[in-house]
Structure formats: C-alpha cells, structure tokens
Structure 1
C-alpha cells in the first residue's frame, strides 16, 4: 500500500507524498485501488482519465478542454470544492485542513471514487493520523453538499431506529404472505408500467400493511403511494431530481433514500429522510447498480459515522449466508430479496432470518 516511488502528484511534490504516505499508513488495509490516480497541481501537457487536475485559486485554464480529454477537474478555494468528471458535477462546502490534498491521495489509494475520497479528505484534520482510529468519524468535520434545492418545509415522519428484517417483494400477494409470517417491515418493488396493475398492487400491499400495522414502503411510485395512504416510499438518488419531496412530506409519508457512498449520504441527509439505505453491499443481480459493491469494511465505516443520526438499512446482495456478518457492523436493518422470494420454504426462511436479528439485540 506504499505511495512512495509512485507518481501520485504532478509536478513531483516530495513533501506532499510523504504526508500522503503517512496518512495512508494509518488508514488500514483496503483493496488495491482500481485506478492509480495522479493529482496534478498544474495541468500537464499530456493528461488522461487517471488525472485529477486541481486548482486551488482562480485560474484561466480551459476546464472544458481538460474534461473533454478525459481528466477530472477539481476547483477548491474559498470554502467550496467543485469536482467535475465527465458529465457529473460534485459540490462540497466547508472548511478543510492544510493536509487535505495529501489526504485525498491517501483515500484515492483506498479505492474510493474521487467524489467520496474528496469528502473524506475535506473531513480529515491535521493530527488525525495520531489517533487510535485515524478514519474521519466526527460528523461535524464533514463538508456539506452544495447547490441543492431546499429540503421540504416539514420533515419526513420518523420510523423505528432499527427496522430489522426488510424483505423487498414483487407483488401485493408476496407482501401479505410475508407480513402474515410476522415481518414488520417490507417494500413493494413492482416492476410494471401498467397503471391499473400498479394501482391494484400498491393498494393491496398498503392494505396488508395497515392490517398488520407494518412499515410498508413503496418503491419509486410515490404518487400512487400517497394516493393509497402508504406508510412510506423508497426512492433512488436519481429520483430526488424528479419526485415532489414536498408533496411526499406534506402527505405524512416516510421517505427512504438509496445511497452508494459518502457523497450520496451527505446529499441524501440534506433532505432529512426517514432512513438511508447503504449499498450495494455485495454484488446483486436484482437490479443494475451504478457503483461497485461497497463491501463490509465500508459498511462498518458508514454505520459508525451515521448510527444514531438516521436509521440505516444495508441493501444489495444480502442473503442468509452473509446476514450475520452484515449485522455485525452494527446496522439495524437489512433488505433482502431472493433470500425470501426464492427460498424453498418461505416460512422457514423468514424464521431463520428473524432469528439472526433477534440474536443481534
């Protein structure tokens, strides 16, 4: 995991490299970085997709040309950092230490995506490497995501801190069957474009939820969920751009948001959701994921940062074989799909999964 004898800064910056090496040595073992990033303090003549070009003051560089050539560009000054990569734009605001560039190199070497590594670098404080646990865990040092619309005028209603077993199910019949087995949290993920089918299935699932006084969430279809009187809705990051969060909050419907790393967590928290889903923890075949699997080590870090601030749900590739390890991170809920819907004996599977949660308490 050594950063020495590698070109991690351009132009070569021995002092920065030494600090980055010292920080990296205190962060623990992480998988080898899939991209060996080079942090460029001035634009090199030859640059490409593994170059992160940093400007720490006003400049006249042709940023659009650099982006067109495949480089990532970071403009950080005046308490505001704007990272651009291809068509994506990430904005963070706050204060940061003098060591933030060295910390950025260290977190990139831990194989975090540049926007997540940047969050951690801006949260880093000089002297953190001398702590027993050098990882940034003080939420107050973390930056804020900028350029976001205002959150709803009323907060989303709360839900239990530990939602427990959280099956994600394809139909109202499945919801009713699982709730009959004693499950208290579930989600209807209905993959349909037929309006009549959606109305029927959502209403059926919501009625089952009311019958059992369960926490029943509807995936994506927030209008139909409001109309049916659902307990909650679950949305992806991309849905935040299009869904009427004010209408959802005013209807008294709870909101769960999917996240895939530090930046998306901070972005989601801005909207004051009822819970955050963290994933995908493991590879999953139930949907196409925008990011690589997070793994248990990252999940444990996320839980340590956010536990007690908002209810958390592990999601993505979780099944009975790994559930105990997932719960060992301290997370209070895990969403499962095939471990329930493809089990030879649904009742036996639910009992076994519920037992894992009971043993956690």
Structure 2
C-alpha cells in the first residue's frame, strides 16, 4: 500500500454502536462509496475470533477500494492479517515496538496530545499522528480536549502528517481551518448518520476546504 498524507483526508473509525440492524461491513462500504480515504477498525468488545473474521472481511473490502486499512491497538492481529498498519495510543504498545513487529513498510499511527509526545512518536517511526480530542466527544468518554493552539503547535513541530480527532461534526469542522492538519478522523459524524454515504460526501467536501 502506497501511503501519503492525502490518504488521511477523511479517516473513518468504526464503531458498532449504531449498526441498527446493518453490518459493520455494510457501513464501511457505504463510507467508502462516499469517499472515505482511510479506515481504522476499532473494536473494544468483540471476541477475538469474531474480531479476526470481521477484520479480514473489512481488510479485503478496503483493498478493493485501494484505501488503507489499519487496526486499532492490536499489533499482533494487524501482523497476522497483513493489514496496512496499526494505530496505537499512549497506553498501548509503543510505535518503535510496533514498527519492529510490523516492519518498515507498514503504516503506524500514534495518538498524541503534546508536542513532546508527537516528537517522540515521529522519532520512533510513526507514519502519522492522531491529535485530540479537538472537541468534546461521546465516543471516548475519558478523552480530554486539547486547545486549538496545542493542535497547531503539534502540526508545526513535526514533519509527518497530523489528523485531528474527537467530536468533529459538520457544524464545527470549519473551526479547524488553519491548524495545519492533513485530515480528520471521525466516528459518529459518519456511522451515526442515517445516510452514511451522503454524510461522508458532505464531510469530505468540508475537509477539503480546511486542508487547502
């Protein structure tokens, strides 16, 4: 998978909270049809065997769309399934260790909140950073918000691309204009919407404006 900052424009993070009878596969496919440029599979409750099966199916779907697919936290599963990479937080396996396991060509994303964490992740081989929460979010109750100045400070301090995450919706996304981000990562802004494909199209058009 050839990866560059343009892949991060509209980064979809899965959440089965809003399936309402649909499958996660169907929801991800709708987001891809709407123009999602990156997919992260995030599962906190699923049993390992079910997780592996779900990850394999969504990996294949993303490959058919030539969209990068990464797994949240689970480096071993990402290696086993030959996913495009993994996304890790500050309390998960460090980027340097993930890089040793996955090799030089995989995508490793790291969640950060400070310039210090950002520089450390960059030095450890991270391909991109996820910074947030930039707005209050219901998807991660323990996520502390960071200021616009903190976000801008991180984008200016590092050479790798930065994605804003946390509470981003249509009504507030334009507030990120001028912060230096290369894209946004969203959950409910896509997957909690009645028409995921349309929501993806609308959000992508807004992201294209803020990253110019």
The Cα shift of 1:241 comes to 4.7
1:127-142 to 2 correspondences below 5 Å: none
Aligned to 1:333: 183
Query: What do residues 251-274 of structure 1 show as CA deviations (whole Å, max 9, x unaligned)?
Result: x32100000112211221221111
Distance in 1, Cα, partners of 2:88 & 2:27: 20
Aligned-partner Cα distance in 2 for 1:282–1:236: 18
Structure 1 partner of 2:77: 224
Counterpart residue number, 1:159:
3
Query: Partners of 1:280 and 1:158 in 2: how far apart?
Result: 28
Would the aligned equivalents of 1:284 and 1:317 in 2 still touch at CA under 8 Å? yes
For structure 2, list consecutive stretches of 5 or more residues without a partner in the other structure.
16-23
Name the CA distance, whole Å, in 2 between partners of 1:294 and 1:286. 16
Q: Deviations over 1:112-152 (max 9, x none)?
A: xxxxxxxxxxxxxxxxxxxxxxxxxxxxxxxxxxxxxxxxx
**Residue of structure 2 in register with 1:304 after alignment:** 156
Contact 1:173 1:205 in 2 (8 A): no
Match of 1:315 among 165, 168, 177: 165
Q: Which residue of 2 aligns with 1:79?
A: none
Alignment check: 8 A CA contact 2:30 2:197 kept: no
From 234, 247, 252, give the equivalent of 2:101: 247
- Distance change >3 Å, CA 172–CA 227, structure 1 → 2: farther
SS at match of 2:170: coil
Deviations 1:311-345 (A, max 9, x none): 11111111111111114312111101111111122
Change (3 A) 1:237 1:230: same
CA distance in 2, matches of 1:274, 1:165: 16
Task: Name which of 185, 194, 201 aligns with 1:344.
Answer: 194
In the other structure, the counterpart of 2:116 is: 263
Report the structure number with the largest CA radius of gyration.
1
- Confirm or deny: 8 A CA contact 2:189 2:199 kept in the other structure: yes
CA displacement, residues 129-181 of structure 1 (integer Å, 9 cap, x when unaligned): xxxxxxxxxxxxxxxxxxxxxxxxxxxx9731231011111333322221122
Backbone CA RMSD of aligned residues: 2.1
Shift in CA distance, 247/348, structure 1 to aligned 2, threshold 3 Å: same
1:358 has 2:208 as partner = yes
Higher relative contact order, chain-length normalized (CA < 8 Å, sep 6+): 2
Per the normalisation by structure 1, the TM-score is 0.52
Using the TM superposition, give the Cα deviation of residue 214 of structure 1 relative to its aligned residue in structure 2, in angstroms.
0.3
Q: 1: distance between equivalents of 2:207 and 2:94?
A: 34
Instruction: Encode CA deviations 1:296-321: one digit per residue, 9 max, x unaligned.
Output: 22212222222xx1011111111111
| Cα distance per residue 1:31-86 (max 9 Å; x no partner) | xxxxxxxxxxxxxxxxxxxxxxxxxxxxxxxxxxxxxxxxxxxxxxxxxxxxxxxx
Q: Distance in 2 between matches of 1:225 and 1:241?
A: 15
Aligned residue pairs total 201
